[in-house]
Structure 1
Amino acid sequence: MRLHRLLAAAALAVACAGLHAQDLSTVCHATSSYDLTVRPDQLIFDRAAPAPTRVVLGNGVLITDGQQVALNDEEQDRLALFQQDLRALMPRVKAVAQRGVDVTMQAVREESGSLNLDPDTRAELDNRLATDAADLHQRIAASQSTHDWRGDAANQYANRVIGDVAPLLASALGQQAVNAALSGDLQQAAELRDRASNLASGFQPRLQRRLQVLRPQIQALCPDIQRLSELQQGIRGSNGRWLNLLQIGQ
Structure 2
Amino acid sequence: MARSLWSGSLSFGLVNVPVALYSAGRDLDVHFHQLHEKDGARVEIRRFCSREDEEVAYEDIGKAYELRSGRQVVLTDDELAAIAPQRTRTIEIQSFVDAADVDPILFDHPYWLLPTGESAGTKRAYRLLIEAMGSTDRVALGRFVLRTKEYLVTVRVRDNLLALTTMLFPDEIRPTKDIDNGGRRPAAKALSQAVRLVEALSVDFDPKAYRDEHRRRLQRIVRAKERDGTIDAPAQDDEPSPAPDLMEALRKTMAELGRK
Higher relative contact order (CA 8 A, sep 6+): 1
Of structures 1 and 2, the larger Rg is shown by 2
TM-score by structure 1 length? 0.21
Higher strand share: 2
Bigger share in helix: 1
